[in-house]
Amino acid sequence: MAANKPSRLTSKGLSSNTPGIVKRILSKTLKLAIGLACLVLASVGLSKLGTVHGKDLPESYFADGYPTILALLDSEVFMGFVFFVTIALIIYVLYLLWQLHEIAVHKASQMSSAHTQIVFALSLCGLFIDKTWWVLAIIIAFARWDVLSDALSEIIRKGRSTLQPKGE
């Protein structure tokens, strides 16, 4: 069984895919470093927009002296970080809600449905007018029209055959 598995080692002793793995690791590390740099720069930038105003509480106000967290909460850079993360979360939730709203359009276009334009129009009506239109767009997008038309044709066919007189 071991003979059927391809060997990852070549004559040089390493896998032939090593440069690809190293490149992937470096790429991910670079993306992480850029993301963290953007986070720090945004936190510092947003901290310049405001100052933390608060009351100076006497040390006797606390049972064991000043808590160490107060220094962090009084830091403008930390508050800039909190502001940045809050805005990023709000934007991400809005993006997810938009994706949920557009699920009917994506499904219709994925199925190459002839109803894609009507689903898009109903989805927009659902956004601006009434959510009932959005529900209708979901129904149209996810319905299997071939199965529905066959079932409807069968119902009509059976209904017509029972209406015809038996003598004919």
Predicted confidence (pLDDT) per residue in 108-140, tens digit? 777 776 777 777 788 778 878 887 887 888 888
3-class secondary structure per residue, the chain: CCCCCCCCCCCCCCCCCHHHHHHHHHHHHHHHHHHHHHHHHHHHHHHCCCCCCCCCCCHHHCCCCCCCHHHHHCCHHHHHHHHHHHHHHHHHHHHHHHHHHCHHHHHHHHCCCCCHHHHHHHHHHHHHCCHHHHHHHHHHHHCCHHHHHHHHHHHHHHHHHHHCCCCC
> Average pLDDT in the 42-68 region?
70
pTM score of the predicted model: 0.51
